[in-house]
Structure formats: structure tokens, C-alpha cells
Amino acid sequence: MDINALFTDEGLRAFTSTVRDQHMKDATQYGQIADIVRRRLESEKIDGDRWLSKKVRAWKVSRQVRAMEKASKDAASAAEALYATYVNEVLELPQRRALAAARKTERRQNRQAAAGAAVAKSLQKSVTSLSGGPTEVPGQVPQARPAEFVTPDSPWEQWPMASGGDHVAPTRTINDYFPNGGERR
């Protein structure tokens, strides 16, 4: 086999397919041999055997062949893993790196645009606050609603105080805390 052909997609695929098929064929043969060995040993009696000795002996011997079957299946799996790892780590790597670089560039541009927008918004707020507030366009409806002051209906005003007097303290409203009616200047 040409070693340079092994480092191409087609060459490695052909190699791993051949190896996988060979190991799967071996695993099938090992499984058949294990069944034959187990059945043959279960049917043969050796002098001095007890009632379960044949089955235990057959299981111990056939277990070794089953281990060979499992090893062959693992080798077939490893051949497929070799091809998948080669494709992932060698063949597709340049495309993934290019995609990652494009994403990084896009994130960097988005961050710069967001920072620029935040700076522009901050400067606009500064200019607006330093110039005395936003200028009103004639004919434009103001967006803020005037404050509405509602007196609370409290059941506590109906009952006398716990100190024993009939005197009830007046309930405070927002107008007591903000004498100008809550209007901004």
C-alpha cells in the first residue's frame, strides 16, 4: 500500500473499510467457534465430573474465544473511529477555522457598533441635559401624562387610635412629600 495514499480521504476510507470488514469477519468466526466449543465441551464427560462441572468447564473455555470476538469487534470500531477522527481533525479543520475566524470578526464588529451606539446615546443625553432639556416641536403632543393625585380610601381613618382617644391622624398623601405636585422642572 502506498503510504501517501493513506493520507487522502479516499485512501484512508478504503483502508479503514478493509480493516473493519476483516475484523467483523473474524468476530463472526470467533463467535461461531465459541458456540461450537461450548456445545462440544458440555457434551463431553471427563472422569470425576460432578453434575455442573461440564457446563462450568465449557463456559470457562468458550469465554476466552468470546473475548477474542469482543476484541475483534472493538478493533472494527476503532477502525471507524480512526476515519472519523481523521476527517474531523485533518480534513474539516481548515473549514472550521475559517468559520470560527469569520464569527470572531463578526462579533468584534458587532461589539464595536454597539459601543459606538452607546457612546452616541450618552453624548446625546449629555447634550440634551446641558442644553436645558429637549426642545419641543410645535404641534407635537407631549408623551408624558400629567400626574394624577388620588386620595386613598383607608379604613384606618374610621377607627379611633389605639391610645384611647377619638383623635385620628390625617392620612398623608404624596402631595405632603412633594409640595409642587410631583412635577419635574
Q: What is the 3-state secondary structure (H, E, C) of the chain?
A: CCHHHHCCHHHHHHHHHHHHHHHHHHHHHHHHHHHHHHHHHHHCCCCCCCCCHHHHHHHHHHHHHHHHHHHHHHHHHHHHHHHHHHHHHHHCHHHHHHHHHHHHHHHHHHHHHHHHHHHHHHHHHHHHHHCCCCCCCCCCCCCCCCCCCCCCCCHHHCCCCCCCCCCCCCCCCHHHHCCCCCCCC
Residue 68, number of CB atoms within 10 A of its CB: 16
Distance, first Cα to last Cα, the chain: 89
User: Which residue, chain included where needed, has cell 476510507?
Assistant: 13
pTM score, whole prediction: 0.53
Alpha carbon distance 47, 53 (integer Å): 11
Whole-Å CA distances, 24 to 38, 39, 70:
21, 23, 10
Domain ranges of the chain: 3-91, 94-131
Q: Could you state, in chain order, the average pLDDT of each consecutive group of 10 residues for the chain (185 residues)?
A: 83 93 96 95 86 90 95 96 92 92 93 87 83 62 62 56 55 70 59
Residue 47, number of CB atoms within 10 A of its CB: 4
